[in-house]
């Protein structure tokens, strides 16, 4: 590659650069979202729409990004969102991502559908590791996944609750998405089975359309680590979650990949924060592309953000170095935004940072 990673200046330019580094099928998988991709665009646009209030004459010569989430120490409130099949982006798959997370100082949520096992990632990652769970219809298999994740060093389980079925992902259909024959899904002890619908046009072999609140309570009761629900957008669901034994929520619309025309997460987050009144810690993902987006998310009630597509593009462009570069850009921009709004610590970020 001619480009040096230092020459990448913004997360926005990564998609264009990645095009020549991934197969058309992989590119369609990462880039795409559901239907008309309205929610995908809204996720990015709505963070940008929010205006910030500067604050002058504060001594910002030292800025501390460290934060504590669920009793766990993080170097900064930015994590890598779970994404399936990293080997579509890079030959070393999630191992390269973990090396980038180490270098960039960010926690990582490993997908159930990772192409490297949770044990290998647990051994490689020096930052906090959480496990994203796609609960299977077979409870014993689900329990085994949770136990393996715990034994591998995962400090939380993020149960994805927004995907009983996939959305209408036209780009995946057009490019005839299929996993290469040598791919494995080692967390499920499966070969190259894709997430695409096979039964009755909407149901997938890897997704559980029966998942319900009873399962949430059961999962929270059998997990030895905190369980977060990933994919909550409805304030009523958030309220119910607070009574279901879960430890936190990730406000997410799956990067616009499932139900199109959902609100953006920038719109959903403050409503849920208000409804919950601090009963559960909240994280958020979707469209986080700038350090200012991170600041806004925290001001609106999130403890941390997760970033998805940008690091996958960077993984395909420059492997671990690329992932680390994404984290470096976000961290630097976030620190600039904190300094210019007179904030020296995460605890000092509140609603008054918004105009
Ligand atoms: C290629 C790709 C694969 C994904 N795979 C998963 C997954 O396996 N499990 C999950 O809970 N979310 C998955 N997501 C959703 C992300 O965790 C996250 O919610 C979303 O990407 C955040 O939006 P952003 O890409 O705009 O940052 C995936 C997203 C992408 C782009």
Mean model confidence pLDDT for the chain: 97
Cα 170 to chain centroid distance, Å, stands at 22
H or E stretch at 283: strand 282-285
Closest CA to 326 of 75, 3, 5, 1: 5
- Ligand 1 centroid from CA 61, angstroms: 36
| Segment 332-348, tens digit of pLDDT | 999 999 999 999 999 99
- Ligand 1 centroid from CA 60, angstroms: 34
Q: How confident is the model at residue 2 (pLDDT cuts 50, 70, 90)?
A: low
Six-digit token string for 20:
């020549």
Q: How confident is the model at residue 121 (pLDDT cuts 50, 70, 90)?
A: very high
- Ligand 1 centroid from CA 97, angstroms: 14
Assessment of whether the complete model's pTM goes beyond 0.75: yes
Q: Which residues pair with 73 in a beta bridge?
A: 68
**Which of 22, 27, 82, 288 to mutate to test ligand 1, by most ligand atoms within 8 A of the CB atom?**
82
* Segment 150-178 mean pLDDT: 97
Q: Is the CB of 39 under 6 A from ligand 1?
A: no
Whether residue 146 is predicted with pLDDT greater than 60 in this model: the reply is yes
**Which of 81, 86, 251 to mutate to test ligand 1, by most ligand atoms within 8 A of the CB atom?**
81
Whether residue 102 is predicted with pLDDT greater than 70 in this model: the reply is yes
Residue bearing the CA closest to ligand 1, atom 20: 255
* Structure-derived torsion over alpha carbons of residues 163, 176, 264, 348, reported in degrees to the nearest 10: 80
Polymer length of the chain: 355
H or E stretch at 102: helix 94-104
H or E stretch at 295: helix 291-299
Whether residue 1 is predicted with pLDDT greater than 70 in this model: the reply is no
Q: What's the rounded Cα separation, in Å, for the pair 166 and 210? A: 14
- Ligand 1 centroid from CA 93, angstroms: 15
Query: Given 86, 90, 195, 254, which residue is catalytic?
Result: 254
List of residues 6+ apart from 5 with CB closer than 8 A: 317, 318, 321, 322, 324, 325
Q: How confident is the model at residue 198 (pLDDT cuts 50, 70, 90)?
A: confident
Q: What's the rounded Cα separation, in Å, for the pair 196 and 183? A: 15
Q: How confident is the model at residue 191 (pLDDT cuts 50, 70, 90)?
A: confident
Q: Is the CB of 258 under 6 A from ligand 1?
A: no
- Ligand 1 centroid from CA 55, angstroms: 35
* Percentage of residues in the chain having pLDDT higher than 90: 96
List of residues 6+ apart from 99 with CB closer than 8 A: 124, 319, 320, 323
Burial of 224 (0-12, 13-18, 19+ CB in 10 A): exposed
- Ligand 1 centroid from CA 14, angstroms: 16
Q: Which long-range contacts (CB under 8 A, 24 or more apart) does 12-21 make?
A: 12/289, 14/309, 14/310, 14/313, 14/314, 14/317, 14/326, 15/309, 15/313, 17/313, 17/317, 18/312, 18/313, 18/314, 18/316, 18/317, 21/89, 21/316, 21/317
Domains defined along the chain, listed by start? 5-343 (3.20.20.70)
**Which of 254, 262, 264, 313 to mutate to test ligand 1, by most ligand atoms within 8 A of the CB atom?**
254
Q: Are 172 and 196 in contact (CB under 8 A)?
A: yes
How far apart, in Å, are the Cα atoms of 55 and each of 59, 152, 243, 255, 299?
Answer: 11, 44, 39, 32, 14
Q: Which residues pair with 107 in a beta bridge?
A: 79
Q: Are 315 and 90 in contact (CB under 8 A)?
A: yes
What's the pLDDT at 200?
80
Q: Which residues pair with 249 in a beta bridge?
A: 229, 282
| Segment 286-333, tens digit of pLDDT | 999 999 999 999 999 999 999 999 999 999 999 999 999 999 999 999
Q: Are 90 and 96 in contact (CB under 8 A)?
A: yes
H or E stretch at 123: helix 118-124
Residue 86: active-site member: no
Q: Is the CB of 160 under 6 A from ligand 1?
A: yes
Q: Is the CB of 264 under 6 A from ligand 1?
A: no
201: left (phi over 0), alpha (psi -120 to 50) or beta: left
Whether residue 3 is predicted with pLDDT greater than 80 in this model: the reply is no
Residue bearing the CA closest to ligand 1, atom 5: 83
Q: Is the CB of 194 under 6 A from ligand 1?
A: no
Q: Is the CB of 157 under 6 A from ligand 1?
A: no
């Amino acid at each position: 590659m001619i480009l040096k990673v230092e020459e990448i200046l913004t997360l926005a330019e990564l998609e264009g650069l990645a095009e020549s580094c991934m197969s058309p099928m992989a590119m369609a998988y990462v880039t795409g979202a559901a239907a008309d991709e309205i929610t995908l665009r809204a996720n990015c646009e709505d963070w940008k729409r929010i205006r910030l209030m500067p604050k002058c004459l504060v001594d910002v010569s030292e800025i501390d990004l460290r934060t504590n989430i669920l009793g766990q120490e993080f170097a900064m409130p930015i994590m890598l969102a779970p994404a399936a099949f990293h080997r579509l982006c890079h030959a070393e798959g999630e191992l390269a991502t973990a090396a980038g997370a180490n270098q960039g100082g960010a926690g990582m949520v490993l997908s159930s559908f990772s192409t490297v096992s949770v044990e290998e990632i647990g051994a490689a990652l020096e930052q906090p590791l959480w496990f994203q769970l796609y609960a299977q219809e077979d409870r014993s298999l689900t329990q085994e996944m949770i136990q393996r994740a715990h034994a591998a060093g995962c400090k939380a389980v993020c149960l994805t609750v927004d995907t009983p079925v996939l959305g209408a992902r036209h780009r995946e259909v057009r490019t005839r998405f299929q996993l290469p024959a040598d791919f494995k899904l080692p967390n499920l002890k499966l070969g190259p089975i894709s997430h695409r619908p096979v039964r009755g046009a909407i149901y997938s072999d890897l997704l559980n359309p029966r998942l319900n609140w009873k399962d949430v309570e059961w999962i929270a009761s059998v997990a030895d680590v905190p369980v977060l629900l990933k994919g909550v957008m409805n304030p009523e669901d958030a309220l119910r979650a607070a009574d279901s034994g879960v430890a936190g929520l990730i406000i997410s619309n799956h990067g616009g990949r499932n139900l199109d025309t959902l609100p953006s997460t920038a719109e959903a987050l403050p409503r849920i924060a208000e409804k919950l009144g601090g009963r559960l810690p909240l994280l958020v993902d979707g469209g986080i592309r700038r350090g200012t987006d991170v600041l806004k998310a925290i001001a609106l009630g999130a403890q941390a953000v997760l970033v998805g597509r940008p690091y996958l593009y960077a993984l395909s462009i420059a492997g671990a170095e690329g992932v680390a570069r994404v984290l470096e850009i976000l961290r630097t921009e976030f620190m600039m935004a904190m300094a210019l709004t007179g904030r020296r610590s995460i605890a000092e970020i509140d609603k008054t940072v918004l105009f």
